[in-house]
Amino acid sequence: MVARVKLPKKQRRRKTIKLYLRVLMFSFVFLGSGIWLYEESGKLLEYTKPVNTTTIQVYDMERNILMSMDLEEYLVGVLAAEMPASFHLSALQAQAVAARTFAMSRIKNPSMKVQTFHPEAQITTSPEICQAWISEEEQRRRWGNSYEIYRQKVAEAVQTTCGQVLTWQGELAEALYHASCGGGNTEAAANVWGNHVPYLVSVACNHPQDKHSQEETVFTWQEFGQKLQLENEVSVGNFGDFISVLSRTAAKHVEKIRVGNRIMTGGQLRSLLGLKSSQFTYQIKEDSIIFKTEGYGHGVGMCQHGADHYAKQGYDYQQILAYYYPGTVVEKW
Ligand SMILES: [Zn+2]
């Protein structure tokens, strides 16, 4: 049995103050002027809504409702949806800045496509139109027993970068990002959409293979023809010559491809077939065509798996952002 020694009053008070400071340090995560109060175990006890901060009108595509949210609170839901919370904190912080930049540009420049869902909407929860977002309920479901720890980590990434955005020559940058480039190089915006953006250029991205590195998608010729609306052109006997890659970019994405008599970009074919990326090869079989993709997403801007890799190598979030968006500046707006 361990004997309990009672400390003198002064020492007891000092110990209490130290403990209080420690609890303060580990327990509070400030979001804007809102306060997230956690136990040291990571359990979320209380959240006080911030005042006088930027609000964003978010259209929830699942529930078909418009939500008025604090921007920083919204970003916690974006990070939860867009990047695995198990990633390094620096990668999550870089993601927070990129996601905030995108949200701020949607607030500043309203999108007509977004407003078709609701006239007051500034952003939607659709990753196809904007960036993904999930509710606290969905976060609990997705993270299970790790909910408290992950929620705290994601909130910390948002809080420690509070108000920070990525700019290019004083204007909000287009902070595009994607899940994985496949491990090699990111893609230049010019190769995907045809317009050159000085900071959305191809950079080396030497991260190890990840779950998106090699994926196979099989289509029967009938399915393939239907998806491309080329049913009449696809017939037995012409499969071998039916499709051919005309050019690839330096990052190995298909730039131009001929399908039947149609010439399209790799991105267009990717979108029609719902492929993970335009970095693909294909194999023609008698009754089907097999696509092997590398990476996930358009490949432009920050590669999330690469960000996690470089974070583990010691890069902080500013270095990660400077690497993937060369020439941009992180600043508080
Ligand atoms: Zn990458």
Mean pLDDT of 208-234: 84
Cα 200 from chain centroid?
16
Q: Is 10 helix (H, G, I), strand (E, B) or coil?
A: helix
**Domain match, 288 and 324 both:** no
Query: Is 301 domain-assigned?
Result: no
Which is nearest to 23 in space by CA: 7, 34, 39? 39
Query: Is 308 domain-assigned?
Result: no
**Domain match, 49 and 121 both:** yes
| Gap between the terminal Cα atoms of the chain | 58
Ligand 1 center–CA 150 separation, angstroms: 23
Mean pLDDT of 50-65: 86
Query: Is 145 domain-assigned?
Result: yes
Query: Is 204 domain-assigned?
Result: no
Ligand 1 center–CA 317 separation, angstroms: 16
Query: Is 82 domain-assigned?
Result: yes
**Domain match, 259 and 162 both:** no
Mean pLDDT of 280-285: 91
Contact 221, 232 (CB under 8 A): no
Burial 40-60 (b: 16+ CB within 10 A, else e): eebebeebeebeebbebbbbb
The pTM of the full predicted model, rounded to 2 decimals, is 0.80
Total structural domains within the chain? 2
**Domain match, 143 and 86 both:** yes
Identify the pLDDT of residue 8: 60
**Domain match, 141 and 261 both:** no
**Domain match, 93 and 223 both:** no
Query: Is 4 domain-assigned?
Result: no
Phi and psi torsions of 40, nearest 5°: -65, -25
Ligand 1 center–CA 28 separation, angstroms: 34
Identify the pLDDT of residue 37: 61
Ligand 1 center–CA 210 separation, angstroms: 9
pLDDT classification of 11: cutoffs 50, 70, 90: low
Find the range with the poorest average confidence among 116-120, 257-261, 297-301: 257-261
Ligand 1 center–CA 304 separation, angstroms: 7
Q: Is the pLDDT of residue 80 over 50?
A: yes
What is the extent of the structural domain holding 326? 31-175+319-332
**Domain match, 326 and 274 both:** no
Contact 321, 302 (CB under 8 A): yes
Ligand 1 center–CA 206 separation, angstroms: 7
Identify the pLDDT of residue 319: 98
Average pLDDT over the chain reads 87
Ligand 1 center–CA 294 separation, angstroms: 10
Ligand 1 center–CA 182 separation, angstroms: 6
**Domain match, 36 and 120 both:** yes
Reported as type and span, the H/E element at residue 272 is: helix 266-273
Percent of the chain's residues with pLDDT above 70: 81
d(CA 294, CA 159): 34
Q: Is the pLDDT of residue 18 over 70?
A: no
Total count of residues recorded for the chain = 333
CA neighbours closer than 13 Å in the CB half-sphere of residue 235: 2
Percent of the chain's residues with pLDDT above 90: 69
pLDDT classification of 278: cutoffs 50, 70, 90: very high
**Domain match, 154 and 282 both:** no
Ligand 1 center–CA 235 separation, angstroms: 38
Ligand 1 center–CA 170 separation, angstroms: 27
* Listed ranges 196-205, 250-259, 275-284; the one with the highest mean pLDDT: 196-205
Mean pLDDT of 208-222: 87
Ligand 1 center–CA 251 separation, angstroms: 11
**Domain match, 46 and 147 both:** yes
**Domain match, 51 and 168 both:** yes
Identify the pLDDT of residue 241: 76
Ligand 1 center–CA 127 separation, angstroms: 19
Dihedral Cα 190, 195, 200, 201, nearest 10 deg: 30
Ligand 1 center–CA 213 separation, angstroms: 10
d(CA 22, CA 27): 8
Q: What angle do CA 201, 317, 167 make, to 5 degrees?
A: 55
Identify the pLDDT of residue 50: 53
Identify the pLDDT of residue 52: 52
Query: Is 187 domain-assigned?
Result: no
Which is nearest to 180 in space by CA: 143, 210, 148? 210
Query: Is 16 domain-assigned?
Result: no
**Domain match, 142 and 225 both:** no
Mean pLDDT of 81-98: 98
Find the range with the poorest average confidence among 22-31, 208-217, 256-265, 323-332: 22-31
